[in-house]
Amino acid sequence: MAQQNNIVDYANAIQYQLASIVTPVPVYANFNRNFATEQKFITWQLRNVHQEVFTGIYRMNKSIDRPIFQISAFATTMNDVFALTNEVIQSLHGYSGQFGGAAGFNVSKADVIMLNNSYDNTIGLHSIFMDCTLDIPA
Supply the pLDDT for residue 59. Answer: 58
How far apart, in Å, are the Cα atoms of 88 and each of 19, 39, 54, 92? 10, 17, 28, 6
Domain membership of residue 103 (yes or no) is yes
DSSP type of residue 58: T
Tally of domains within the chain: 1
User: One digit per residue, pLDDT tens: the chain, 138 residues?
Assistant: 456 678 899 999 999 999 999 999 999 988 665 566 789 999 999 988 766 666 666 655 566 788 899 999 999 999 999 999 999 999 999 999 999 999 999 999 999 999 999 998 888 899 999 999 998 887
Domain membership of residue 113 (yes or no) is yes
Domain with 121, as residue range(s), is 7-137
Domain membership of residue 2 (yes or no) is no
The CATH number that applies at residue 87 is 3.30.2000.30
Domain membership of residue 123 (yes or no) is yes
Domain membership of residue 1 (yes or no) is no
Supply the pLDDT for residue 1. Answer: 46
Q: Strands, DSSP E only, in the chain?
A: 27-29, 40-48, 53-55, 62-65, 68-75, 97-99, 105-107, 109-120, 125-137
Supply the pLDDT for residue 44. Answer: 95
Domain membership of residue 95 (yes or no) is yes
pTM: 0.86
